Homo-oligomer: A and B are copies of this chain.
C-alpha cells in the first residue's frame, strides 16, 4: 500500500468528526468536506471534544491537553468543495447519508477526483459495496470500513469488498487500520448489517420482546445485562465465554447448554416494530432514565468507556 500522509474525511457529522479526531491523533493531515451549513464549525467543535477523550485515553505524559489539541487541529483543513478535499488524499473515509442513490452519486464524484490508487473506505452500516461502486472509476479500491460509534474510541472496523473490489485493497485497508491500533475484522460474505450490528440487534430484539410481553421492565433488562452477561462482553466474546463455561471447554459446555438453549431459541419470537410499540418502549425507557435523577449519561458512558479501554490495554485482552 502506498504510504499515507493525508486522509480525507467526507461527511463530517458525528461519525465523520470522530474519524477525523482519530486520524489527527495518529499524526495524519486531515482534509474534510461536508455540504451542510455550519459543517466546518460543528466539525471543529466535535473534533476538539473527541481529541480530549483521546488525550485522556493515551495518558500523554508531557504537555497539557490544550496544546495537544491545538497542535493537532493545525493538521485539519476543511474544504468548500469535494474535489479539493480529495485531490491529493492517500486514504478516504466516507461517512455520507445512508441512501444508495446519494451514495452512488457521491462515489462517482470521489473517484473522479482522487488519485486512482487511493483506497476509499465507506463507514456505511447498511449498504453493500457492490451497489455503491457500480458506476465508479477504478471501483477496485472501494471497501467497507465500518466503525462502531464512536470511531475515535471503539477499535472495531468491519471490512469487506464488493464484487468489483480487488483483494489487494481489502488486505491493504485491513493492514492500514491494524497499523493504527484498530481491531479490523475481515467479513467473508456480504450480509445485511455486517457482523456487529447483527449481534447487537439480536439482543435488542429480545430486549424489546420481553418488555412488550410484560415479562420485565426496561430497567430490568438493562440490569440483567450490565450486572450479568454484559460484564463479560467487554472482556471476551461469545466464543471464549462458552469455552470458559465448562472446565472441559467449548464442546462440553455446548453439550451441557445446547439443549436448554435450543428450547430458549424456539421460544424467541419474531418481533415487528410498530409506532405503538416504539411509543411503549420509549415510555419504559424514559421511566428508567427519570429514575436515574438527571445523571449525565453521555458523560458517564464516555468515562466508563475510557476506563474499560484502558483495562483492556493493561490486561492485553484479545
* Interface majority SS (helix, strand, loop, mixed), chain A: helix
Question: Is A270 in contact with B278, judged by CB distance below 8 angstroms?
Answer: no
Q: How many copies of this kind of chain does the complex include?
A: 2
Query: Shortest Cβ distance from A44 into chain B, in angstroms?
Result: 18
A224-B195, A244-B301, A285-B250 as given contacts; A187 in contact with B207, CB under 8 Å: no
Task: Flag if B215 contacts A239 (CB, 8 Å).
Answer: no
Contacts of A289 in B (CB 8 A): 240, 243, 249
Q: Chain B residues near A137: list those with CB within 8 A.
A: none
User: Which residue on chain B has the smallest CB distance to residue A98?
Assistant: B260
- The answer, yes or no, to whether A238 is at the interface (CB within 8 Å) is yes
Task: For the complex, give the distance between the alpha carbons of A289 and B305 in Å.
Answer: 26
Query: Is A237 within 8 A of B223, CB to CB?
Result: yes
Check if B238 sits within 8 Å of A221, measured CB to CB.
yes
Residues of B within 8 A of A230 (CB): 230, 233-234, 237
Give how many A residues have a beta carbon under 8 Å from the other chain's beta carbons.
Answer: 106
Q: Are B301 and A156 in contact (CB under 8 A)?
A: no
Q: Across the interface, do B228 and A215 meet the contact criterion of CB distance under 8 Å?
A: no
Binding-face segment, A64-72, A74-82, A198-206: A198-206
Q: Is the CB of A229 within 8 A of B199?
A: yes
> With A216-B186, A224-B195 in contact, do A201 and B232 touch (Cβ < 8 Å)?
no
Given contacts A185-B220, A207-B238, contact A317 B304 (CB under 8 A): yes
Per-residue B-contact encoding for A172-189, CB less than 8 Å = 1, 0 else? 000000000001011111
Instruction: In the complex, identify which listed stretch (A3-11, A86-94, A114-122, A251-259) lies at the interface while the others stay far away.
Output: A251-259
Q: Is the CB of B304 within 8 A of A311?
A: yes
Contacts of A239 in B (CB 8 A): 207, 218-219, 221-222, 281, 284-285, 288
A270: chain B residues within 8 A (beta carbon)? 265
For A83, the chain B residues whose CB sits under 8 A away are none
When the two chains form their complex, are residues A200 and B186 in contact, meaning their CB atoms are under 8 A apart?
A: no
| Shortest Cβ distance from residue A160 to the other chain B in the assembled complex, whole angstroms | 9
Interface core residue of A158, A220, A271 (most chain B CB under 10 Å): A220
Given contact pairs A156-B228, A186-B220, A205-B268, a sample of 14 additional A-B residue pairs in the complex whose CB atoms are under 8 Å apart? A148-B229, A183-B227, A191-B215, A191-B267, A192-B267, A195-B216, A196-B229, A197-B260, A198-B206, A219-B239, A230-B234, A244-B297, A255-B278, A304-B311
Contacts from A to B (Cβ < 8 Å): 98, 125-126, 148-149, 154-156, 158, 183, 185-189, 191-193, 195-207, 210, 213-216, 218-240, 242-245, 249-251, 254-255, 258, 260-265, 267-268, 270-273, 278-279, 281-282, 284-286, 288-289, 292, 297-298, 300-301, 303-305, 307-309, 311-312, 315, 317-318
Q: Please, could you name 9 A-B residue pairs with CB atoms under 8 Å apart, sorted by A?
A: A154-B227, A188-B215, A193-B260, A219-B239, A222-B318, A229-B233, A234-B234, A304-B315, A308-B308
